[in-house]
Structure 1
């Protein structure tokens, strides 16, 4: 019997969008988007993070000034109430994702237990 796991995953994705945690994140994102200062600060924070990740993945060295600038931008972003609320909502949603991943990987872990 062939199983189409993608049908179930698509149902899970639709259910995921209906959670309170998803709704809270969507609302928090809308609040950041509505505040021009918070939006610019978050976009800068995100761009810096992406740039640092790309450098790290390609093995480039990250300079001290660049790291210090990134830390200051992160602190500013985290002290903005709207951005902080958005990041908190994202963490709550991430817990669901982690739990789903744990559940999905359980059969694989079970296979390896006998080794």
Structure 2
């Protein structure tokens, strides 16, 4: 049962990214780097879920740290795609985006941590 939930989670994370890729929305360098980092972290989570050894453990330790740092930097400082929501301030929208992003990525980094360590 837990494998099904993990695979569903991978699909929830991956589907929008693949959609963006197919529509050509990765135009900036930061967006392209984000896609590459995301693919690396998804691969690690896939290895964890399926119990398949993909590369050395040191690689996944590096991917874990780099992924967390990149995602925090990207969500907090780099990503400027927040759309205005009527009645809410810009700060409120940004704070909501950051909190939601962190909550969505917690399972990803939990699995990647378990895979790397």
Band of TM-score, shorter chain:
0.3 to 0.5
**Normalized per residue, which structure has more helix?**
1
TM norm structure 2: 0.38
Higher-Rg structure is 1
